[in-house]
Structure 1
Amino acid sequence: MIRHRRLAALFCLVAVLGLSGCNGVQPPGKRVGGAKQTKPAKKPNIVFVLTDDLSWNLIAHMPQVLAMQREGLTFDNFLMADSLCCTSRATIFTGRYPHNTGVRTNFPPDGGYEVFKAKGGEQASFAPLLQKAGYRTALLGKYMNGYRPHDTQGGTRPYVPPGWSEWYVTGNGYPEYNYNMNENGRIAPYGSRPQDYLTDVLANKGLEFIKRAHGSSQPFFMEISTFAPHGPFVPARRHVGKFPDLRAPRSPSFNEADIRDKPSWLRSHRLLRKPGMDRIDAGFRDRVRMVQSVDEMIGQIRTTLKQLGLDRDTYLMFGSDNGFHMGEHRLAGGKMTAFDTDIRVPYIVIGPDVPSGHRVREAAQNTDLAPTFLELGGVRPPPAIDGRSLMPFLRGTKPSGWRETALIEHVKPPPSPADPDRQDSAPGAPTTYNALRNDDLLYVEYADGEREFYDRRRDPHELNNIVATLPEQRRRHLSALLYALTHCTGESCTAAGRSR
């Protein structure tokens, strides 16, 4: 366990708690003048497209997403509380940090679907609350690592978790072909035909759901969770061969020349040579090819919503569960680090009254998604939620007392041959750490006692670890704040995050 000075931490937490307050929840809708409103405003529809391992450097190759940026709101500093698939998804569903969900890795005993379910994650998810509020809900694609679509959970049919009106979910969809899907409690096999490509199947089922929901008086929430662009990087056949000359971006951190200031887990990495860089370039091309299907799906959803007259009542959000590095800091491919390549991901929203072409600089997190969906549905977020609703930003305003500092936490998983993310659970991957991230800094404390500090104003690519130059008082303050955030729950997370 990472050690901290408890008295200093408690003092820090008490101080920030003194600034805390409560925010009421007001269901979104058109403003009403002096006349009394006799009919409640219609609740908006919500479409959430969640990708897997999508990094910022792919957005330039997604014209439909670029159009969303021009017409909607972009969160420039959307940060994952843990850059790992299952931990991130547990946080997205519940609005709780990983230290509160209990999902710390992708597989038991520290994580995975079994742990999420055993710790009440399905009941704590936003889906049952939205369904109770009158929403027709649907989940399509990926759920949680370790989920098996054929598992009956003691029943007579394949299990569908509570809160979901419609369920089209598979377990191992990473190859994009040859998978089984739980379709509302019935197993449907898919093969290797072009029309079986998973992202396209999800797109078609999503459009069918929208059309069915259009004929209902219920508002709807639909999450399409793609496996793209996660490895093994299999694009649709119509996109194979596109972008033949594309290379992975060469940012200042790419194949970092001097890593003597880095922690020991990273210092073991040698400079990338040409064969390794060629593999990175080939992987990046295939990732760009994969997201073409996702981008086409975005366009199809927008067209269908407009044709049905639903675009004026529907919020469409696009994002990712975590980022992905490919060559930065000598790391060939993966995630789980506290570097921006892994924790800072695209989140873009269009919908009623969302300001066009607007960008938000404030730090948002995946803890904020559940309370946002709930507020859109007119539901008061439960006290156990650690995040805050993003709705003020969607209305073009900045909420008072917004977080100044975000928490990043990560537990190094043991190697597992069944883990598609095992490339980063091997030796040479980051050890267990907790971190603070804001506009000014990235501060990391590792379980083995090593530390990192980057001045992000002067060093946005996080090249120079200057932790040794920090005054002792500054180190104590950062350590105390980190302790407060890693031990927070609910409103105390909001309060602690206001400090820097």
Structure 2
Amino acid sequence: MPKNLVHLFILVVLFTSCNRAEQSENKQPNILFIMSDDHAYQAISAYGHQLNHTPNIDRLASEGAIFKRAYVTNSICAPSRAVMLTGKHSFVNGKVDNMQPFDWEQDNFAKQLQKAGYTTAMIGKIHLHGLPQGFDYSNVLPGQGQYYNPDFIENGVKKQYHGYCTTITTELALDWLQNKRQKDKPFLLLYHQKAPHRSWMPELKYFELFDDKEFAPPANFYDDFKGRRAAATHEMGIREHMDLAYDLKMFDKEGELGGHLRQSAGWVTNRMDSVQRAQWDDYYDPIIEDFKQHKMEGEELALWKYNRYIKDYLRCIQSVDDGVGEVLDYLKAAGLEENTIVVYTSDQGFYLGEHGWFDKRFMYEESFRTPLLVRYPKEIKAGTTVNKLVQNLDFAPTFLDYAGVTVSDDIQGESFRKLVTGDDSNWRDAIYYTYYEYPAEHHVKRHYGICTERYKLIHFYYDIDEWELYDLHNDPGEMNNVYDQADYTDVQQMMHVKLEELRKQYGDSDELNQMHLDRYLQKRQVRK
């Protein structure tokens, strides 16, 4: 070959290589969005509470970023997921509680990513009725779903799978990644687990995990709710309201145990086959008999119930962590790790004995806060910690931002992409919260409020008119309502101003609250 042709060939090869490298560098990132249900941040070992060990979820913190002040806008399952999809508050997207329908016709970030060339899938729990829109493939649980041998709805067709729900969800996610996605396109996968939602049914292999451990309850487990009238009317106490049969699996064959949910307890195990049920009985029957013999009451019974609850809850999380590990390992083996944004979060936080509670709903910290860990090697430095106030409102604009898609003006969240790279100069200084589902299970009164880095202001309304103010620096357990204390007069006034500013910014009002209340009461009446 003549020398000039050799030089030309080399230039063509170099140009082509550089062009390919540039294309690779500018390639839209894949997005793996992992969400569990009711997973408290206290139950992820990266957050330092030492309840359990979640090595695979922790990998996202060590290899990416951990958010210490991530929150939801409405701490209940379906509304939280609607906010996540739309980037809009509940009173804007219409899904204010678990009873109101969700309008799948409205825009969501998955639809936008589809238009931008992504192949998209939703697998696991979504808890929003109707065929998911914005997804080329969906395989979701109907409603809450079941832990054992669950039904799934694959692209609108229901069928039953044999096995444990958490494991099945992971297998379906891996199958889509390996066999069903269009591999010439970037992907969006919503991989959403049912666990650790009530009634906390562990996988068979984890029945004995934590049997050798006695958990001490949180310091405010015996909260007397002084100065907090709305909290005092709750029905989510581990001592008073946690059901022996439905929640703690004490549904003995003689019918001597149980509570007001005993008739629902059969739903816990009626999906099991004979082998699964035999293993279940082998583990729980001795516990039932021991409980019947000891006839506990008072503080002893409260601590026993707490330990039964927390152990089953944490066992469910262990299976979730296993699944995260399997999917992360697949990304690495397939060469997808570098260009994939991986997010782990929950639809809200959860009480693990704080204030003596289980469940969520209140604007108090443990249900208002949610875990959030994000890994993206191209942009996020390993070991990053973010302390700014972010919300589930921010997922939609963040994903669109990373994908290079214009964020529409009607999205109310903000992209936190710059936060993880250290540019937080113009970030928000306050976040807004609403809760509507009352009168209902657990008796958590309707309320809205605002939270800054240090303070929290809450207004409980409808059949009550109570204000609460907390200094989170001096009172992180939120035991002391300082709303009427003279030392906090200036803070109270400042927080009221901020509250009204945010209500105006997001478009909320007392008139909207009344409209949603009227609709809710009408639906309750129809159901009766």
TM range (shorter): 0.7 to 0.9
Unaligned stretches of 5+ residues in structure 1:
1-32, 148-158, 416-421, 491-500
What SS is found at the alignment partner of 1:67?
helix
Residues 49 and 37 from structure 1, CA distance in 2 versus in 1: closer, same or farther, beyond 3 angstroms? closer
- Helix, strand or coil: the match of 2:183? coil
| 1:439 aligns to 2:419 (yes or no) | no
2:227 paired with 1:261 = yes
CA distance in 1, matches of 2:116, 2:229: 48
**Paired residue total:** 418
2:438 to 402, 405, 413: 413
**CA offset at residue 88 of structure 1?**
0.6
**Quick one: which of 44, 62, 71 aligns to 2:29?**
44
Task: After superposition, give the CA deviation of every residue in 1:285-342 in whole Å (9 maximum; x if it has no partner).
Answer: 11111111111111111111111101111111100001111322232x1110111110
For residues 301 and 81 of structure 2, the distance between their equivalents in structure 1, rounded to whole angstroms, comes to 34
The separation in 2 between residues aligned to 1:38 and 1:143, in whole angstroms, is 35
Residue 144 of structure 1: how far off its partner (Å): 2.2
1:399 corresponds to 2:415: no
Partners of 1:311 and 1:325 in 2: CA distance: 34
Residues 349-381 of structure 1 deviation map (CA, whole Å, 9 limit, x = unaligned): 111221111110000100000101111221111
Which amino acid in the other structure matches residue 168 of structure 1? N
Which whole-Å CA distance do the structure 2 matches of 1:393 and 1:456 have between them? 23
Partner in structure 1 of residue 8 of structure 2: none
Alpha-carbon distance change, 40 to 198 in structure 1, aligned in 2, over 3 angstroms: same
Q: Secondary structure at the match of 2:68?
A: strand
* Residues 38 and 245 of structure 1: CA distance in aligned 2, closer, same or farther (over 3 Å): closer
Percent of aligned pairs with the same residue? 27
Distance 1:486 1:377 in 2: 30
Residues 480, 202 of structure 1: CA spacing in aligned structure 2 closer, same or farther, 3 A cutoff? same
Letter in 1 for 2:465: G
Is the Cα contact below 8 Å between 1:253 and 1:462 reproduced in 2?
no
Instruction: Check whether the contact 2:238–2:353 (CA below 8 A) recurs between aligned residues.
Output: no
The offset of 1:248, in angstroms, is 4.8
Q: Where do 1:461-480 residues align within 5 Å?
A: 461-470=477-486, 472=489, 474-480=491-497
Equivalent position SS for 1:231: coil
Please report how far the alpha carbon of residue 55 of structure 1 lies from its aligned counterpart in structure 2 after TM superposition.
0.2
**Structure 1 range deviating more: 86-95 or 437-446:** 437-446
Partner of 1:317: 343
Q: Residue 350 of structure 1 aligns with which residue?
A: 375
Counterpart of 1:481 in structure 2 is 498
Cα 1:442–1:58, aligned 2, differ >3 Å: closer, same or farther?
A: same
Answer yes or no: is the 8 Å Cα contact 1:174–1:228 preserved in 2.
no
Aligned-partner residue type, residue 404 of structure 1: D
**Are the counterparts in 1 of residues 75 and 367 from structure 2 also a CA contact under 8 Å?**
yes
For the 8 Å contact 2:60–2:373, the answer to whether it is kept is yes
Q: Deviations over 1:265-295 (max 9, x none)?
A: 4267889433233222211111111111111
Q: Is 1:54 the equivalent of 2:79?
A: no
Output the CA distance in 1 between the equivalents of 2:152 and 2:182: 26
Q: Is the 8 A contact 1:92 1:369 kept in 2?
A: yes
Residue 177 of structure 1 deviates from its aligned partner by: 1.8
Alignment of 1:359-374 (within 5 A): 359-374=385-400
One-letter identity of the residue aligned with 1:69: A
CA RMSD of aligned residues (A): 2.4
Could you report, residue by residue, the CA deviation over 1:377-423 in whole angstroms, capped at 9, with x for unpaired residues? 211111111110011123x22233211111111113343xxxxxx3x
> CA 1:218/1:412 → structure 2, altered by over 3 Å: closer, same or farther?
same
Equivalent-residue separation in structure 1 for 2:340 and 2:481 (angstroms): 44
Change (3 A) 1:304 1:37: closer
The 10-residue stretch of structure 1 (61-70 or 366-375) with the greater mean CA deviation from structure 2: 61-70
Structure-2 separation of matches of 1:227 and 1:64:
18
The match for 2:80 is 88
Query: Structure 2-normalised TM-score?
Result: 0.75
Partner AA of 1:432 in structure 2: R
Corresponding residue number in structure 1 for 2:325: 299
Q: Name the CA distance, whole Å, in 1 between partners of 2:417 and 2:322.
A: 27
**SS of match in other structure, 2:399:** helix
Residue number in structure 1 paired with 2:513: none
CA contact (8 A) 1:73 1:354 kept: yes
Secondary structure of 1:131's aligned partner: helix
Structure 1 residues 246 and 125 mapped into 2: Cα distance closer, same or farther (>3 Å)? farther
Amino acid at match of 1:212: N
- Which of 32, 55, 69 aligns to 1:63? It is 55
CA contact (8 A) 1:49 1:318 kept: yes
Aligned-residue offset at 1:228: 0.3
Deviation readout 1:48-89 (Å, 9 max, x if unpaired): 110000001211221111222111100000011111111111
Tell me, what secondary structure is at the counterpart of 1:359? strand
**Greater mean deviation of Cα atoms: 404-413 or 366-375:** 404-413
1:105–1:413 contact (8 Å) kept in structure 2: no
Alignment of 1:21-40 (within 5 A): none
Closer, same or farther in 2 for the Cα pair 1:290/1:457, shift >3 Å? Answer: same
- The equivalent position to 2:307 in structure 1, one of 275, 281, 284, is 281
Matched residue SS, 2:418: helix
SS in 2 for 1:400: coil
Q: Distance in 1 between matches of 2:180 and 2:238?
A: 53
For residue 185 of structure 1, what is the amino acid of its counterpart? G
| Letter paired with 1:44 | P
Is 2:125 the partner of 1:142? yes
Specify the code of the residue in structure 1 equivalent to 2:398: T
Contact 2:145 2:151 in 1 (8 A): no
Deviation at 1:263, TM superposition (A): 2.2
Partner of 1:497: none
More helix by share: 2
Seen in structure 2, the aligned counterparts of structure 1 residues 252 and 398 have a Cα distance that, compared at 3 Å, is farther
Which residue of the partner structure matches residue 79 of structure 1?
A: 71
Greater CA deviation, 463-472 or 98-107?
Answer: 463-472
What is the alpha-carbon distance in structure 1 between the residues aligned to residue 89 and residue 24 of structure 2? 38
Native 8 Å contact 2:56 2:322 kept in 1: yes
Q: Hey, what's the Cα distance between the residues in 2 that align with 1:369 and 1:445? A: 27
Alpha-carbon shift at residue 39 of structure 1 (Å): 8.3
2:410 corresponds to 1:384: yes
Change (3 A) 1:374 1:268: closer
Provide the C-alpha distance between the structure 1 equivalents of 2:430 and 2:191, rounded to a whole number of angstroms: 30
Distance change (3 Å), C-alpha of 1:317 and 1:267: same
**Partner Cα separation in structure 2 for residue 248 and residue 387 of structure 1:** 38
SS in 1 for 2:449: strand
Q: 1:453 offset after TM fit, Å?
A: 0.9
Change (3 A) 1:292 1:330: closer
By how many angstroms is 1:232 displaced? 0.7
| Counterpart residue number, 2:151 | 180
1:416-467 CA-to-partner distances (Å, cap 9, x unmatched) read: xxxxxx3x2xxxx321111111221111111122111111111111111111
